[in-house]
Amino acid sequence: MIPVLLAAVILFIAVPRVWPTSTGDKISYSEFIAKVNSGQVKSVTIDKGSGTIHGTTTTGDKFTATGAGDRGVSAADETLLDQKNVDLKFSQPSSNWLLNWAGLLLPLVLIIGFFVWMQRRAAGQMGNVMSIGRSRAKAYSADKPSTTFADIAGYEGVKQEITEVVDFLRMPERFREIGARVPKGMLLVGPPGTGKTLFARAVAGEAGVGFLSVTGSDFMEMFVGVGASRVRDLFQQARKMGRAIIFIDEIDSIGRKRGAGLGGGHDEREQTLNQMLAEMDGFETSEGIVILAATNRPDILDPALLRPGRFDRQIVVPLPENTERLAILKVHSRDKRMGPDVDLEVMAKATPGMSGADLANLVNESALFAVRRASKQVERIDFENARDRVVMGARRESLVLTGEEKRATAIHEGGHAILTVVLPNADPLHKVTILPRGMALGVTWSLPEEKHTYSKEYFEDVICRAMGGRVAEKIVYGHLNSGAANDLEQATGIARRMVREWGMSERVGPMAWSGHQQVFLGEDLMTQGREFSDETARTIDDEVSRILHEQEARATELLTKHRAALESVAEALLDKETIDGAEVAGLVQASLGESVPGDAIPHRIVSADAHVIDIAPGADSTSDSPATLD
């Protein structure tokens, strides 16, 4: 604003001087002499600089005339003015000092301004270099409104765990009187999207103290020693605040196990971790500083970081259960205009395995679908469309299948669907479609029940179900194609884990070997080799092959018995493109020669070969699950 105001003042002073404003009517010199002869002119003022004549008539009107020469009027006309008793005056224009000095001062001002700009630029760069070791933590004062536990739906157990920290920061004297020691650090562990960062903000909001937030990657820089310097500065800021919370998000980026990689002891990340370990040991709980950290990879953290006295307590933030999912859906739906047919309880039951972020995305997608329909509220159809998009991917409208490809896809998905309804331990079938979604040409979608442990028979049914598409194509066409690549990958992965990790092979016995070694840890890269011998590896491969071949033979036997149902399901998919689990169960039941009363499909029926067909109640109106086969 200062340069703008300065320019306005300069223009206000200079413009009237350069372009003086004129008043009155403009007339020619001859008209001026005519007015003088007729006695209409009372007074005249002549500008000696420009020769302009400014006059006033006897009636009080003003006029301006162009003078004759530098003097404005000739000698004869001046005599005429004297004869007519016209008051004649001459004015000398004052010089414009601003314009006079502008030509001298402008080059000097430009030179001085250039040197000032260069000096500030150099000082800014030097300041950046000198401040590179300062912490980049964002500080939030206690008087600002913040998140509280009331803003977090569910997770009552987690809230109870961290309430002690809040009480200590609010009323530390209660703990000092009894001699209790509050943990110095608390590590929030859980899958991505479960709300670990949200819990940290809620703790700061509940405690009403200073809050310093930083991510693990903020400590790392290309210069040696910067990370350790930023750690020291971070703890100094916390000490100045008195009672404060330090929150380090994604701490695994600097807290990995030391000596685990290919780098030596002078690795910058290790020096940063060493400084953090020293700082955490350098203050007492009486200082009122509590460290919260979050990670979804606790297995790679250094043991010294997790020992008592540093991060004394690990709080697991798991995926939400059914009641918690319902509460989360209500939180994210409270600012949406919901239709009367939306049932969030059904949606919560049908979304096992979804995190809070997934549920928030589901609600937002449903609102977007409602906008596309030009609807004024979110209805059930919007939730169903959003569910399909989130779980199965967006529809690929541009992909057009030929008639033979479409029929092959129908046969493939029909094989998955038939096995899903006839296998006794399979998850309930929800929907089958041959509409291309995501990377798949078709999808068979099941709704798994909310379990925490799974039996050997369950995994065998999952593998058998995965073989359904490949086997169905082989039965109908007599040859195979590449459409079963993802199915085989899923089945092989489960079979290998059954043998190597879960001890579900009689021949291998109760032995387990990690199937997915983290290469970036580097622990076994140089020092250790494979955990088992070549003979054991051959046995593992034989057992994996046996499981896969047994379940393929089982799938062949079942689909051969239900060949008529397979054809019926394929025809229904070609006709409708999408059918639900109840309709598939009805087609299987009809193929067995049993009558189906109207459209009422029992939720549990038994086929001729004594396999249970289990369709979840309300399966045609429930929603998504991460368990899909394409």
Residue 223 structure tokens: 């210069």
For 430, the 3-state DSSP assignment is strand
Residue 33 structure tokens: 């002499």
Count CB neighbours of 369 within 10 A: 20
Q: Sign of dihedral through CA atoms 327, 328, 329, 334? A: positive
Active-site residue identified among 268, 413, 460, 583: 413
Q: Count of residues for the chain?
A: 630
Strand partners, 293: 187, 248
Residues in contact with 385: Cβ distance below 8 Å, sequence separation at least 6, in sequence order:
365, 366, 369
Closest CA to 508 of 552, 480, 547: 547
What phi and psi values does residue 10 have, to the nearest 5 degrees? -60, -45
Count CB neighbours of 34 within 10 A: 13
- Concerning whether 270 is annotated as a catalytic residue, the answer is no
| Per-residue CA distances from 121 to 125, 126, 129, 498 (Å) | 6, 9, 13, 64
Residue 258 structure tokens: 């030391």
Count CB neighbours of 386 within 10 A: 24
Q: Are strands 289-295 and 185-189 parallel, antiparallel or unpaired?
A: parallel
For 214, the 3-state DSSP assignment is strand
Q: Is 584 buried (19+), middle (13-18) or exposed (0-12) by CB count in 10 A?
A: buried
By annotation, the residues acting in catalysis are: 413
